[in-house]
């Protein structure tokens, strides 16, 4: 089946640093990938839609300069949390949709980000 | 606008007994509906999806869901719970305004399975 690999799974870093999270579709091509944020014991909140070869589409209230998204190929999207602060600590999950056919989104295993 | 309501935040069952997780949706269009499961510190795994074919949808691990348009419901069931079914379950509807790409999640139902 379709596999989405997300890396790293855990990140702990100091306040003010930037953190990059990768999302790869391993056995399919994805023109569209999605980035979600999930707070403890809550549902997923869509942050942005990542489109291969074009700018990402951000949801209302999500700072595009804080959360930089790059989708340079059909199998890779990256989310960079710039100048991270403790309030950015969260569980970030990506998903990807196969470009072929009417396929559901397939999710990565998430990245736990902790900013000290 | 599309929306999803999961009627129970927590459900607790005994191993071997049936599971019912309830979901109601609101949609102006013919919806695509999904159930995903999330184990702790993991991403989401697709259990099943409804896309206007058969109203009774069979998924993985013995789960199934029935689409009832008259009741705007898409409840998830399983005849016999296993300990490994303990997880968070999300009912999801796709938003046609985003080309059916944008997913709208319910708040989730935490399923506990007791021996």
CA distance A111 to chain B (A): 8
- pLDDT tops 70 at residue B100: no
Q: What is the pLDDT of residues A24-71, one digit of tens each?
A: 999 888 888 999 999 888 888 999 998 888 889 999 999 999 999 998
pLDDT at residue A91 in the model: 94
* H or E element, residue B93: strand B87-95
Query: CA distances (Å), A9 to each of B3, B14, B74, B114, in order?
Result: 30, 32, 32, 29
CB–CB contact B45 A43 (8 Å): no
**Average pLDDT for residues A97-111, to the nearest whole number?**
84
CB–CB contact A107 B34 (8 Å): no
Instruction: Label residue B97 by pLDDT band (50, 70, 90).
Output: low
Partner B contacted by A21 (CB < 8 A): no
Partner A contacted by B45 (CB < 8 A): yes
Please list, in sequence order, all residues whose beta carbon lies within 8 angstroms of the beta carbon of residue B92, skipping any fewer than 6 positions away: B4, B33, B34, B35, B36, B103, B104, B105, B106
Q: HSE-up of B45 (CA within 13 Å, CB side)?
A: 15
Of the candidates B36, B65, B71, which has an alpha carbon nearest to the alpha carbon of residue B53?
B65
**Average pLDDT for residues B24-52, to the nearest whole number?**
88
- With beta carbons under 8 A apart, name residues in chain A contacting B41: 91, 110, 112
E-only strand ranges, chain A: 4-7, 10-13, 19-25, 32-38, 44-51, 57-58, 67-73, 76-81, 90-97, 105-107, 111-115
- With beta carbons under 8 A apart, name residues in chain B contacting A46: 102-103
pLDDT at residue B1 in the model: 73
pLDDT at residue B46 in the model: 92
- pLDDT tops 80 at residue B99: no
Q: Where are the alpha helices (DSSP H) in chain A?
A: none
Q: What is the pLDDT of residues A3-19, one digit of tens each?
A: 899 999 999 999 999 99
- pLDDT tops 70 at residue B98: no
- Contact at 8 Å (CB) between A106 and A3? yes
Mean of all residue pLDDT scores within chain B? 91
Nearest-angstrom CA–CA distance, A94 and B21: 25
pLDDT at residue A80 in the model: 97
CB–CB contact B44 A107 (8 Å): yes
CA A44 from chain centre, in angstroms, equals 12
- Contact at 8 Å (CB) between A114 and A9? no
Q: What is the pLDDT of residues B54-94, one digit of tens each?
A: 889 999 999 999 999 999 999 999 999 999 999 999 999 98
């Amino acid at each position: 089946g379709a596999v989405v690999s997300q890396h790293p799974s855990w990140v702990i870093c100091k306040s003010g640093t930037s953190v990059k999270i990768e999302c790869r579709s391993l056995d399919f091509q994805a023109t569209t990938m999605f980035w979600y944020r999930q707070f403890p014991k809550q549902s997923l909140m869509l942050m942005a839609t990542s489109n291969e070869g074009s700018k990402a589409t951000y949801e209302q209230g999500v700072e595009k300069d804080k959360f930089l998204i790059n989708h340079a190929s059909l199998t890779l999207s990256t989310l960079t949390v710039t100048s991270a602060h403790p309030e950015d600590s969260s569980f970030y999950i990506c998903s990807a949709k196969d470009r072929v056919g009417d396929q559901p989104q397939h999710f990565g295993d998430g990245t736990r980000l902790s900013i000290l | 606008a599309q929306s999803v309501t999961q009627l129970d935040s927590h459900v607790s069952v005994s191993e071997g007994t049936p599971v019912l997780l309830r979901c109601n949706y609101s949609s102006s269009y013919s919806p695509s509906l999904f159930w995903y499961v999330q184990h702790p510190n993991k991403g989401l795994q697709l259990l099943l999806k409804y896309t206007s074919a058969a109203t009774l949808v069979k998924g993985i691990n013995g789960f199934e869901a029935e689409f009832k348009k008259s009741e705007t419901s898409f409840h998830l069931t399983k005849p016999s719970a296993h300990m490994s079914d303990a997880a968070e379950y999300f009912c999801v509807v796709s938003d046609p305004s985003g080309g059916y790409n944008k997913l709208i999640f319910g708040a989730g139902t935490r399923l506990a399975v007791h021996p």
